[in-house]
Amino acid sequence: MDGQAWYLRTSKLALALAIIHSKPADKSSREYTEHLARTVSGQESKWRAKVKALEAEVLQLRQKQLLSRICSGSFESGEEILPTLSAQEPRSSENTSTLLEDSGCVLSNDQRTEPSEMTEHSGESCISTPFPPLSIVNRPCAPLEKPLSSHMQFLQRLLGLKTLTESESLKTDLSHFENASSTVSDSVFQLLDGLITFYREPKLPCSSFWIEAVDTLARLIGDCNLSNHILKKCSKKLEEFEKTLLQVILSNNHINRFQVQHYVSQSLVTLGSCSLLRRSIISLLLSEVNSFADDLGTINQVQASYDVTRYENIFSVFCVLEQLLQKETEEGNASKMGHEDQEIKKFLQKHDETILQLSDAFPLFTFYLWRLGTLLNSVETGTVENNSLP
């Protein structure tokens, strides 16, 4: 017996003897052991909650520090970005403040700084005037949104700074700040965690917070100076999020599910607006289409019944695929897709055979298969037409 095993065995024996000697007279050793285990478990849960809260607070402080230090560095290099930062709007039609108001999370009046006031004090230290605190005011807010809104504010302000400091790459800025890339990737990881939790059981009406969160995520990963830091830590989480969105579309069997289907489908399209994510999403969706076509082929041969709900839901997948393929061509990336993707290769190889096999029993499904094949071939040649599915 080695030293480690001997130590573990001795410790267990000592613990057992201590429990036996200290147990109350009205309890057996087993009952007292179970009582101690429950007590320790309860204390452990409390400590876990405290640790989680402290970790969240530390991350929030790191976010504030990073924004302030980047801002300070811009002033040192002669760039006065603060007067224009408050006017900076995200890519969507609503600005950050409006979007946060829609989700019930807004900045208080004393946290906002007018552009004229910022101009007057542009020579002062950035630490004293820069960004409103990342805390949330006490306004009605969905429970899941509340802990995530600070991450959203941080990431959107980081994107705003990136836009306003084009003369000096943010990649270079981040390299000067200790743990900067970790702060960004940790914030994205937390945001992804919240998105996955929400989309597993989306509740209608969905607030604009979640729409903007997906859009912010796509913009961050689409930024070449930030994507490497994010993907290094969050690639598995991103894959989980993509699969979550797909499963929500496919598995929803509620009678009035089509509003949710549309909402989740648009979230997938928004995520696919990032070219770095688009091809993985296309491959994931095509994998489901290929699998379902195989299942229908087997069902057609044995004349068995099939899952009507899954059949109806697959058409939402077709619609998302079309929009992503059109986006791929619009950005001039068609030549980079090619036949090397295994799911595209499998789909095109079996395309004609599948249509002939299923056209009589499933005419609508085969029509969409035919159209998708046309789009994929068009993407290959870069001649896709911008017309939508009927």
Q: Could you report the per-residue pLDDT of 131-152, keeping only the tens digit for each? A: 444 443 444 556 667 778 888 8
Q: Per mean pLDDT, which range of 160-164, 185-189, 266-270 is the poorest?
A: 160-164
Which range has highest mean pLDDT (19-23, 73-77, 209-213)?
Answer: 209-213
Report residue 330's pLDDT band, with 50, 70 and 90 as the boundaries: confident
On the question of a cis peptide bond just before residue 205, with omega within 30 degrees of 0, the verdict is yes
Q: Which letter does DSSP use for residue 244 in this model?
A: H
* pLDDT value, residue 379: 66
User: Can you spell out the DSSP letters for 273-318?
Assistant: TSHHHHHHHHHHHHHHHHHHHHHHHHHHHHT----HHHHHHHHHHH
CA dist., res. 323 & res. 326, Å (int): 5
CA distances to 5, 17, 71, 185, 242 from 14, rounded to whole Å, are 14, 5, 58, 45, 50
Rounded to an integer, what distance in angstroms lies between the CA atom of residue 41 and that of residue 35?
Answer: 10
Mean pLDDT, to the nearest integer, of 116-126?
A: 39
φ, ψ for residue 323, nearest 5 deg: -65, -40
DSSP 306-364: --HHHHHHHHHHHHHHHHHHHHHHHTT-HHHH-S-SHHHHHHHHHHHHHHHHHTTT-HH
3-state secondary structure 130-199: CCCCCCCCCCCCCCCCHHHHHHHHHHHHHHHHHHHCCCCCHHHHHHCCCCHHHHHHHHHHHHHHHHHHHH
Q: Is the pTM of this model over 0.75?
A: no
Compute the average pLDDT of residues 38-46. 74
Q: Kindly give, in sequence order, each residue whose CB lies less than 8 Å from that of residue 57, ignoring residues fewer than 6 positions away.
A: none
Q: What are phi and psi of 80, to 5 degrees?
A: -100, 95
DSSP structure class, residue 84: H
Most confident of 28-32, 151-155, 339-343: 151-155
Of 95-99, 197-201, 272-276, the one with minimum mean pLDDT is: 95-99
Question: CA 180 from chain center: how many Å?
Answer: 20
Main-chain dihedrals φ then ψ at residue 264, nearest 5 degrees: -70, -35
Distance CA 271, CA 69 (A): 30
Tokens read off for 326: 């059109």
Question: Percent of the chain at pLDDT above 70?
Answer: 71
Residue of 107, 137, 97, 102 lying closest to 207 (CA atoms): 102
382's tokens: 């870069």
Phi (first) and psi of residue 186, to 5 degrees = -65, -40
- Answer yes or no: is pLDDT of 39 > 50: yes
Domain boundaries defined on the chain: 276-390
User: Whole-angstrom Cα distance, residue 115 to residue 84?
Assistant: 7
Taking a C-beta distance cutoff of 8 angstroms, is the pair 151, 187 a contact?
Answer: yes
- The encoded tokens of residue 347 equal 């789909």
231: amino acid identity, one letter: L
Spatial distance between the Cα atoms of 197 and 353, rounded to a whole number of angstroms: 40
* pLDDT tens per residue, range 255-297: 778 888 888 999 999 999 998 999 899 999 999 999 999 999 9
The pair of three-digit structure tokens given for residue 51, joined into one six-digit string: 């640790």
Name which residue leads in pLDDT, 337 or 28.
28
Could you give the 3-state DSSP secondary structure of residue 203?
coil
Kindly indicate the confidence band of residue 74, based on its pLDDT and cuts at 50, 70 and 90: low
Residue 216 · residue 152 · CB < 8 Å: yes
**Residue range 102-123: mean pLDDT, rounded:** 39
